[in-house]
């Protein structure tokens, strides 16, 4: 049986305000989860009514007691496209002003809904796959593109050089703490490392485990937590056992809890290019954590020795060197943690991002209204 639910906002929206429907599937929620709640609250403060359509129960539950409506559906897959369209029609009638789609996993459905409600569709490109899908399928007149990083923005602008007005940069947003975690006291003697993502051939986990084995041979006390799932999860654990690291590594098959695990970690490791961009690195930087990543990362926020320690892809020895220096508490690394936090607070400001998005929504709706009034001329 399909279970669908809607929890109404805890206060009435301003009459006549724009109503934006955010659409985020489980994959998007696993990568950005907490951001949807925080961004929704900030957008409500900008005078917008925000609803979230998702098939991720954890993210939907986090909206309880907020001004946001959570619309929890059983699935956002292509098999549920027609049912979800009927559901949205019954829920919102003619109240929607715009749709903001996070990732292109249900792009066809979102395009149907935008036509159904005659509203603009803003498509957020948060992965290499998103960019590739759009390059292949094209851009409709009622659509605008948001790129999560400058690399994606550049690629999209090169694809549509005459439509640059419809392509925008919109990086992650973070509600920053009063103080970075790194300033809250001395860390325990055991160095905590965190990796999160999809366990597959492109994860870089063999390199990471080789580095961990090398660091352990130097008698460094550490523990690595792997939070993720995928077709290679079993082979990953076999690799852990083969390297005799089962007492130093924990594998958790619940991707949505990585942000909680980050609280107790000292280091976030990205051992290979993150093709599906997530909130993990920006959040780690904002909290003053050490970020160690391969040099082939796509976003501009990986700045060597300023926001992150970088190593050559596949070089376990160089990765182990960075982990060892971090364990020793080298002054330059502690300074980098502070610099990364300052960078994140400036570049990932929740208030700034909400104001930018509110302006984009209003501009898109105004352009759509003008086009309708002139018959699309």
Question: Distance (Å, rounded) from C-alpha 291 to C-alpha 334?
Answer: 11
Same domain as 366, residue 305:
no
355 and 259, same domain (yes or no): no
Is 158 in the same domain as 307? no
Provide mean pLDDT across the span 64-79.
91
Q: Are residues 22 and 162 in the same domain?
A: yes
**Tens digits of per-residue pLDDT, 33-54?**
999 999 999 999 999 999 999 9
Please say if the pLDDT value at position 4 is more than 70: no
Q: At residue 367, does pLDDT exceed 60?
A: yes
* C-alpha dist (Å) from residue 43 to 46, 79, 198: 5, 31, 30
Q: What is the pLDDT of residues 142-164, one digit of tens each?
A: 999 999 999 999 999 999 999 99
**pLDDT band, very low/low/confident/very high, at 237 (cuts 50, 70, 90):** very high
Q: Kindly state whether residues 219 and 153 are assigned to the same domain.
A: no
Residues 97 and 232 in one domain: no
Residue 2: pLDDT band (50, 70, 90) is: very low
Q: Are strands 249-252 and 143-147 parallel, antiparallel or unpaired?
A: unpaired
Q: Which among 51, 37, 42, 122 is positioned nearest to 350, based on CA atoms?
A: 42
Question: What is the per-residue pLDDT for 243?
Answer: 96
Q: Are residues 201 and 140 in the same domain?
A: no
The 10s digit of each residue's pLDDT in 172-183 is 999 987 666 655
60 and 160, same domain (yes or no): yes
10 Å CB burial of residue 310 (0-12, 13-18, 19+) is: buried
> Does the reported pTM lie above 0.75?
yes
Examine the domain organization and report whether 107 and 191 are in the same domain. no
User: Would you say residue 261 has pLDDT above 80?
Assistant: yes
Instruction: Print the domain residue range for 189.
Output: 181-347
Whether the predicted pLDDT of 211 surpasses 50: yes
Q: What percent of the chain has pLDDT over 70?
A: 90
CATH of the domain at 46: 3.40.50.2000
For residue 79, how many other CB atoms are within 10 A of its CB? Answer: 8
Same domain, 279 and 360: no
- 164 with 197, same domain? no
Q: Helix 150-159 and helix 128-137: axis angle, to 10°? A: 10
Q: Count structural domains, the chain.
A: 2
Q: Which residues contact 131 (CB under 8 A, 6 or more apart)?
A: 125, 152, 155, 156
Contact call for residues 290 and 266 (beta carbons, < 8 A): yes
């Amino acid at each position: 049986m399909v279970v669908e639910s809607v929890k109404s906002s805890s206060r009435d929206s301003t009459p006549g305000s724009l109503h934006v429907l955010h659409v985020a599937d489980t994959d998007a929620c696993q990568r950005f989860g907490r951001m949807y709640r925080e961004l929704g609250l900030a957008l409500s403060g900008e005078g917008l009514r925000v609803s979230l359509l998702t098939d991720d129960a954890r993210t939907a539950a986090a909206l309880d007691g907020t001004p946001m409506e959570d619309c929890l559906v059983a699935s956002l897959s292509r098999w549920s496209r027609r049912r979800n369209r009927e559901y949205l029609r019954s829920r919102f009638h003619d109240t929607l002003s715009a749709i903001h789609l996070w990732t292109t996993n249900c792009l066809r459905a979102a395009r149907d809904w935008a036509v159904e409600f005659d509203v603009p569709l803003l498509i957020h490109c948060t992965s290499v796959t998103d960019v590739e899908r759009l390059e292949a399928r094209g851009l409709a007149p009622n659509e605008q593109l948001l790129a999560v990083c400058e690399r994606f923005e550049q690629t999209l602008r090169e694809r549509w050089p005459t439509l640059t007005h419809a392509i925008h940069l919109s990086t992650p947003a973070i509600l920053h703490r009063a103080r970075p975690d790194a300033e809250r006291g001395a860390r325990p003697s055991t160095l905590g490392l965190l990796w999160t993502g999809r366990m597959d051939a492109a994860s870089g986990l063999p390199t990471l485990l080789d580095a961990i084995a090398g660091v352990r041979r130097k008698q460094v006390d550490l523990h690595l937590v792997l939070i993720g799932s995928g077709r290679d999860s079993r082979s990953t654990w076999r690799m852990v056992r083969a390297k005799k690291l089962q007492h130093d590594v924990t594998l958790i098959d619940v991707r949505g809890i990585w942000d909680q695990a980050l609280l107790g970690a000292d280091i976030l490791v990205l051992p290979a290019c993150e093709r599906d961009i997530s909130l993990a690195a920006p959040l780690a930087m904002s909290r003053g954590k050490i970020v160690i990543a391969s040099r082939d990362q796509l976003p501009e926020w990986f700045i060597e020795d300023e926001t992150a320690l970088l190593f050559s892809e596949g070089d376990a020895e160089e990765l182990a060197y960075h982990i060892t220096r971090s364990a020793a508490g080298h002054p330059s690394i502690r300074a980098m943690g502070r610099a990364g936090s300052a960078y994140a607070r400036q570049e990932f400001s929740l208030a700034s991002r909400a104001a930018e998005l509110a302006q984009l929504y209003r501009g898109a709706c105004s352009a759509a209204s003008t086009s309708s009034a002139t018959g699309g001329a």
